[in-house]
Structure 1
């Protein structure tokens, strides 16, 4: 269970902070909800406490682990010989997992692919999405702004 002030990562949304835990009545049932602020999307969400784990909400990555992931980013690859439909399915599963290492792998793959040829519309949207997720988590872990996080990601 998270507490107020904990910094978390919410798959498909980005890094955020638990701003409150409140009991809310929904459909006649009262249960505790996390009130989460996700700054990169300018989003506030309420998530039932009991569903947090199922939704993949996790603590932010340890700063040391983040450094390891960024250092080894150039070594990651996704098999580009499989058809796009299958690659898309794999990519979406990895994004939904919320695993930062998987997100970094997807980012690297799509970035490299964009240097080889123009990305299709889906690939561009995915690249933008995973870039946003990485930047949001780096910002919160390192307590830095988006420009500084961008510099860490590309260096």
Structure 2
């Protein structure tokens, strides 16, 4: 019994922790004596190719790229939402790690927003700086796919609070 594929070749996806990607193919491979089907995913920003077993796709939190309406909501929260400044950096790091791992556009945008605001006031420690860079790369990648714009234009969209 063949299941319907969750994604098809050519779909733009978001792979949590890696960013925007494209389903380039579906291949059957034998690994350690077990034959199964894999999605072939290209992650342009890291110049990386990932094989994801099709039966693991639901657990991977890989999702389709958000739509334009969701993007507008996220940009509004990104530019105008409140940041919780009462947390210690360890508490903040744990919360932000969970948000980035969730793979959700809104949660990634909150991480970028909050860490950028802190960075504007003081130097982030190396762990948070790395998290900010990674979360921003993922967010910029998705913005670019949704709007059909370049990485530079997507980065400018985040800097410019007058995005309407």
Aligned residues: 155
Residue number among 69, 79, 83 corresponding to 2:74 in the alignment: 69
Aligned-partner SS, 1:19: strand
Q: Indicate conservation of the 8 Å contact 1:78/1:106, yes or no.
A: no
Measure, in 2, the Cα distance between the counterparts of 1:56 and 1:49. Answer: 12
Runs of 4+ in 1 over 3 A off after TM superposition: none
Residue number among 11, 21, 46 corresponding to 1:6 in the alignment: 11
Gaps of 5+ in 2: 1-5
Aligned-partner SS, 1:35: strand
TM-score if structure 1 supplies the norm length?
0.95
How far the C-alpha of 1:102 sits from its partner, in A, is 0.4
Aligned-partner SS, 1:69: helix
TM-score if structure 2 supplies the norm length?
0.90
- Which whole-Å deviations, capped at 9, do the CAs of 1:19-54 have from their partners, x for residues lacking one? 000111111111110000111111111000111111
Q: Does 1:26 align with 2:31?
A: yes
Q: CA RMSD in A?
A: 1.1
Measure, in 1, the Cα distance between the counterparts of 2:73 and 2:8. Answer: 27
Q: Indicate conservation of the 8 Å contact 1:77/1:108, yes or no.
A: no
